[in-house]
């Protein structure tokens, strides 16, 4: 877990400017890890903003609707200009 904390510090200092895809077998703890990271960065000293989105809720929607809803999420992240933001898309493979 100490290596994970080091990477979070690097994110805070804007040295990590990419997307991250977490993959693994079902039940390997990907969701638990993401939720733990969200809880860590939303508290001090980071005070980051995060959105945790389960893409299973989008299954019956059109691509235009999905696009608009995700656009709103990212616009909200832009509103938090000087705050680190994290968007977690759970079950994105269902889209």
Q: What is the pLDDT of residues 58-74, one digit of tens each?
A: 888 998 999 999 899 88
Angular region, 21: left φ>0, alpha ψ -120 to 50, beta rest: beta
Is the predicted pLDDT of residue 90 greater than 80, yes or no? Answer: yes
Is residue 62 helix, strand or coil?
Answer: coil
Q: With the CA atoms of 35, 23, 5 and 38 taken in that order, what torsion angle do they form, in degrees rounded to the nearest 10?
A: -20
> In angstroms, rounded to a whole number, what is the distance separating the alpha carbons of residues 12 and 83?
9
pLDDT of residue 19: 66
Strands 85-90 and 49-54: parallel
pTM of the model: 0.66
């Amino acid at each position: 877990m100490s290596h994970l904390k080091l990477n979070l510090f690097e994110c805070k200092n804007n040295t990590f400017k990419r997307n991250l895809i977490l993959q693994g077998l079902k039940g390997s703890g990907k969701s638990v890890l993401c939720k733990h990271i969200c809880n860590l960065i939303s508290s001090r000293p980071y005070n980051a903003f995060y959105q945790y989105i389960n893409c299973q809720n989008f299954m019956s929607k059109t691509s235009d609707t999905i696009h608009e809803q995700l656009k709103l999420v990212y616009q909200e992240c832009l509103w938090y200009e000087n705050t680190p933001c994290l968007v977690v898309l759970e079950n994105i493979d269902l889209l």
